[in-house]
Amino acid sequence: MDLIVFYILATVMVLASLLVVGQRNPMYSVLLLILSFMALSALYVQLDAPFMAVTQIIIYAGAIMVLFLFVVMLLNVPREEPAAPDPTRPFIGAGVRRLGLVLSLALVVELVWALRRLGSAPLGAEAGELSSVRAIGRVLFTEHAFAFEVTSVLILVAMVGAVVLARKEA
Amino acid sequence: MPTLNHYLVLSAVLFSIGTAGVFLRRNLITLLLSIEIMLNAVNLTFVAVGRYLGSVDGQIIVFFVMTVAAAEAAVGLAIVIALFRHRETLNPDAFTSLRW
């Protein structure tokens, strides 16, 4: 039963991600990516990580993707122009791009082959403390307290940077 | 029950889709979206391995990755807006000089 749910979610995720990459209209890409993130959050639930599932929806689908949607609508460039061949720049064009596709396929074959050799490792039957927000909070604010504080500085810097970059005459 | 390998293989496939997107697309926004796909593939690995090892640290790292992804998206999109203002295009092949 769990396996069937996993396969359904995995299929949704892979198909949505493929369509994100294959889509010429960035608007549809963003919406499909939100679908993919929904499936991923369901996978987190299956992995006994409900906190991560909720965070995935709130932060990724709710904040980051809305930011992307804002920019797509603001810039209003719905379609990607077809590539114009340029003999003076040989590293830009369809041939090189096809090579990139081959490299990506090689990457997936290699990774899947390497993982297949691992044999199958069953996940532990009991999740125990893992799925509780209390356990996550305790570790986050004791062992990783410094990293957590640095994160707030990072967000501040990103905020200031975004404002400076997007200003009129930056 | 799906095993650890199921999750790792799914994550590998997703990461490769993201890589293909970075190679194939000629739209800066789609490139950023492909990077998000790759980040999420890695997040899935972290959560699955954390579950396998019985450790909360996997989920903590995912939390930090999400924060960095948010910062990256904000700065990246600001750069995209600034570039679009100069050139009226989102094709990365059009941006070949450091200043103009």
What does the pLDDT look like over A59-106, one tens digit per residue?
A: 988 899 999 999 998 888 756 666 555 555 555 566 677 787 888 888
Q: What is the pLDDT of residue A32?
A: 93
Q: What predicted TM-score, i.e. pTM, was given to this entire model?
A: 0.88
Show Cβ contacts of residue A143 under 8 Å, excluding neighbours closer than 6 positions: none
CA distance, residue A147 to nearest chain B CA (Å): 8
CA distance, residue A87 to nearest chain B CA (Å): 13
| pLDDT over 90, % of chain A | 40
| A residues 24-83 closer than 8 Å to B (CB) | 26, 29-30, 33, 36-37, 40, 43-44, 46-49, 51-52, 55-56, 59-60, 63-64, 67-68, 71-72, 74-75, 77, 80-81, 83
pLDDT tens-place string over residues A44-59: 999 888 999 999 999 9
Is the distance from CB of A145 to CB of B64 less than 8 angstroms?
A: no
Interface test with A, best of B3, B17, B90 (most A CBs within 10 A): B17
| B residues 2-21 closer than 8 Å to A (CB) | 2-10, 12-21
How high does pLDDT run on average in chain B? 88
Least confident of A61-70, A126-135, A150-159, B35-44: A126-135
Please say whether the dihedral angle defined by the alpha carbons of residues A114, A37, B69 and A149, taken in this order, is positive or negative. Answer: negative
pLDDT tens-place string over residues A134-156: 888 999 999 999 999 999 999 99
| DSSP letter assigned to residue A59 | I
Cα B98 → chain centroid: 24
Is the distance from CB of A46 to CB of A123 less than 8 angstroms?
A: no
Alpha carbon distance A45, A3 (integer Å) = 14
Alpha carbon distance A5, A8 (integer Å) = 5
Q: What is the pLDDT of residue A82?
A: 60
With bands split at pLDDT 50, 70 and 90, how would you rate the model's confidence at B52? confident
